Amino acid sequence: MLVGVVRWFRGYVGFTAKGRFPERLLNLAAVRGVNIADPRPVEGGVSGIMSVSDYRRVRPLARKARVRMRVTKRRGLPFAVRKYRGRLGLFVGAALGAVLIAVLSQFLWSYRILGADSMSEQQIRRVLAENGISVGTYLGNLDVEPIERHILRDLDGITWVSVNIMGCTADVEVRQKAQKPEIQSMEPCNIVASADGVITKLKVREGFAAVKEGSGVAKGELIVSGFNPTKQGGVRYMHADADIYADVISNRELKIPKQYDYYSLTENKIDRTRLRFLWFELPASLSFGSCLYRTVTVRDNSLVLNGTVLPVGTSVETSHELEQKHAATDKAAAREIFRNDELLYEAFSRPDSRPVSRSLTVSESKDGFSCEFNCVFNENIAETAEFSVTED
């Protein structure tokens, strides 16, 4: 294989030597150090292949052996070059291509982040860029070990990082920290009320209830005790554990103005396309429009060849025009807004509570509308209150 490649680069000819003493040609060539490859007997002579330079040397030997040599084929780089001698652009293009590949192979084309399941990939990319890993980085300056150390230092939430450079691409593997398990304290404690309310249900797993269902409790009041008096007159301390459900009153107030301004998306948008090549960016579209208020989205597209992301692509920046709008609210609309706000409050601020009753009182003033929310929620108000025990 290698011999064949070398032979192709040097150029070789196939020949037949016919005459009186073709065997003598082989002997003379062998003695002179001329390498005849694949010599085969043919009718009246021999055939074989040899390099171009050897063919020139072997011609006097052919005369000595009284054979007539005839070239049957010409192969290899010298003949290919001669064939395309008139097409200079072909060679210039090939040379430029080779230079381009040699230069581009010195830079990082793309990189992937692996193992960042619940972490922000954008944040990791920012930290990588701060530590010198970004598209277009010169690979000669990339020292992986200190970079890995700096990434570990700068990025919270990871325990291990490995930067694997493979040619012009890199894989950045990260391992996230395992979440610390919640360790239940077994220190002696009481259960107290976390809010004022009327107890509707007691579910005591450990400890002694100090109140009954239907009792009203104030915030901080003892509900389940962790003290257990023994028959011998001593006290045993325990970790009280209970679910205490109580009806809790929730009052809050919300105000909205009668008139307000807001921004709304219009149909107008401007696309600006840029061609990306490593760190270079060139405008590829003519867009002269501008917007007073706008929101911008950027979409990057990269060329992928055989699964490898190339450092060539487009970056489309879309500016969506925003329009400032003026709106006025009437009482019915305000009530609807307050109602929706209450539903959102229940869903997100008190997800574990069950609404028992709710009452909305909307009042109108000169500037706007205000609403008083008077609701009753049934929720768990158990709160642990640890205490320390000092033995005499």
Partner 1 sequence: MKKNLSAVQLDLGTAPLIEMSGNRRVNVEGSTGILLYETSNIKVSTNRMVLSFEGRGLSVRCISGSCVEIEGFITKIEFIS
- Residues of this chain that bind partner 1 (CB under 8 A): 22-24, 26-27, 29-31, 33, 36, 39-41, 46
CB of 43 to partner 1, least distance (A): 10
- Minimum gap (Å) between residue 74 Cβ and partner 1: 23
CB of 76 to partner 1, least distance (A): 21
52: part of which helix (H) or strand (E)? helix 52-65
Choose among 186, 189, 196, 190: nearest CA to 381. Answer: 196
What is the maximum span of the chain, computed from C-alpha positions, in angstroms? 132
Q: Which is nearer to partner 1, 15 or 369 (CB)?
A: 15
Cα 40 to Cα 16, 44, 48, 49, 185, distances in angstroms: 9, 11, 6, 10, 92
Cα distances from 376 to residues 85, 197, 214, 242, 340, in angstroms, run: 93, 9, 15, 22, 17
- Among residues 39 and 132, whose Cβ is nearest to partner 1? 39
Q: Report, in Å, the least distance between residue 30 CB and partner 1.
A: 5
Question: Please, what's the b/e burial string for 304-331 (b: 16 or more CB within 10 A of its CB; e: otherwise)?
Answer: eeeeebbbebbbebebbbbeeeeeebee
Q: Which is nearer to partner 1, 24 or 269 (CB)?
A: 24
Shortest Cβ 41–partner 1 spacing (Å): 5
Q: How far is the CB of 61 from partner 1 (least distance, A)?
A: 13
Torsion of CA 254, 363, 256, 343, to 10 degrees: 50
If the CB atoms of residues 25 and 382 are measured against partner 1, the closer one turns out to be: 25
In 3D space, the residue among 301, 305, 279 whose CA is nearest the CA of residue 108 turns out to be: 279
CB of 40 or CB of 180, closer to partner 1 = 40
Nearer to partner 1, 48 or 197 (CB): 48
